[in-house]
A and B are shown apart, each in its own frame.
Chain A
Amino acid sequence: MKKIFVPLAIVTGAMFVAAPIMIGMADYESTMLLVQKIFYFHFATWMAMTLAIAVCGVASLVYLFKASKVAEWYATSAAELVVVFSLFGLFSGSLWGRKAWGVWWQWDARVTMATMLCLIFLGYLIVRKYGGPGSEKLAAAMGIFGAATSPFVYKSVDWWRTIHPQTTVMRTLGDKWPGAWRLVIFCTFAFLFLTVLLLFARVHLEALRSKLDDMYLAAED
């Protein structure tokens, strides 16, 4: 696992250096013009968040049913990443909406649901920190239920017809505008690699903390 870290970091770094240049050179969208360029990172961050939610959900299940220490490290690290990426998603969405919709915020279906997910995983972090002994299990429950609500988030835009772009935008983008499609996939992969890197870094912190706890326990003997 650690061997892949440096090569992946180099690749990800290169992608993030190239991304702004490519975004700057991309074509404008006909109605939204410049502000639409937020889309490339905005979409990618939600994909990163989805990956983090999946990791957190699965790791929480493994921790709950197999009492695996390592799974718990992954769950808590992934939960932090969910909060980080969803905060950026909400922020970038707000800036884009300011121009495209005229308002900083809209209680539209997807915005509401995304905020909900951010709150759920913030709750994960809060209960883990302030829940006292055994709080890892409580947090795992939050992780599992949080992951279970995310399909509702994706489908919410299809059920509600609201101001937010529909899921058909992404599904037809490859046919209608291949240049943007390639660019958004590129940015998505950059974000996914970044998620993996940050996950490894954060799990390393948890592993160190666990080692410290073992050292304290050993010292008491």
Chain B
Amino acid sequence: MTPGFLKVALLVLRKDLAIEARSREIVYTTLFFAVACVMIFSFAFVKEEGVPVDNAAAGILWIAVAFSGTLALGRTFERERYSETLRALLLAPAARPAVYAGKLLGMILMMAATEVILTPMVAFFFHAPFFARPLLLVALLGLGTIGFAAVGTLFAAMLVRTRTRDVLLPILLYPVTIPVIIAGVRGTAALLQSPPEEPVATLWIGLLTAFDVVFITLALWTFEPLMTE
């Protein structure tokens, strides 16, 4: 009897978390890369007097999330490819979309772990009052991460067998996730104003929700034909 959708997804998630918990390689490297990104961008966006450009913090946060997220995607699927476990997963008598859902959940948790440390750090370095409206911020970051990870997991998985996968992933992923990044940056920038512009942020949260629904649905639907040869 084939296990149900949720059960498969959670099994895949548990497997990924177990592997990651032992070495913590991806979480540490992703976080460090994100911090390095923030450092580099700080040189671009901090004026001579040491004061950052207005609203730079919002952009820097999201770019660091996007870049480090791409890295994490690459590393996660490289690990799968190296031990050939992806093929084993696909051969298992489980619904393919459930495998995708499990990997997506793992990816979201990975990116969330990075963001939990990255956001206060960016707020600190750029004097950005991110936490004036914490619930809205969490909604923006959460929905944006889900959207980015949804497309990213699908693309990274389908590129696993491709020779030029490392360079193709950013080329394919970034244009498609531009609406997510724009919505995230604009929404976060709205929260940085004094007073925080809540209706604007809510508008962008709505867009992110729509995006997430459309793209997760598409990904679940197309995962199977994309992964079969």
Contact = CB atoms under 8 A, between A and B. Distances in A.
A113 B214 CA distance: 17
Contacts of A145: 151, 176, 215, 218
Nearest to A119: B175
A148 B179 CA distance: 12
A127 B168 CA distance: 7
Contact of B164 (A64, A112, A130, A146): A130
Contacts of B162: 131-132, 134-135, 138
Interface in A102-136: 112-113, 116, 119-120, 123, 126-127, 130-132, 134-135
Interface string B213-229: 01100100010011001
Given A64-B225, A132-B162, A116 B175 contact: yes
B179 A141 contact: no
A149 interface: yes
Contacts of B211: 152
A59 interface: no
B171 A141 contact: no
Interface stretch (B38-46, B84-92, B105-113, B153-161): B153-161
B226 A116 contact: no
Nearest to B217: A148
A112 B222 contact: no
Contact of B175 (A123, A131, A138): A123
B133 to A, nearest CB: 21
A159 B163 CA distance: 41
A3 B81 CA distance: 50
Most buried by A among B163, B182, B229: B182
A48 B130 CA distance: 43
A130 B172 contact: no
Contacts of B151: 145
Given A138-B162, A144-B222, A123 B172 contact: yes
Contacts of A140: 226
Contact of A141 (B158, B182, B214): B158
B10 interface: no
A65 interface: yes
Contacts of B161: 134
A137 B225 CA distance: 8
Given A132-B162, A148-B214, A159-B203, A141 B155 contact: yes
Given A112-B178, A141-B158, A144-B218, A131 B226 contact: no
A138 B218 contact: no
A131 B168 contact: yes
A112 B172 CA distance: 17
Given A112-B178, A123-B172, A138 B215 contact: no
Interface of A: 64-65, 112-113, 116, 119-120, 123, 126-127, 130-132, 134-135, 137-138, 140-142, 144-146, 148-149, 152, 159
15 contacts: A65-B225, A112-B178, A116-B175, A123-B172, A130-B164, A131-B159, A132-B164, A135-B162, A138-B158, A138-B159, A142-B176, A144-B218, A145-B215, A149-B179, A152-B179
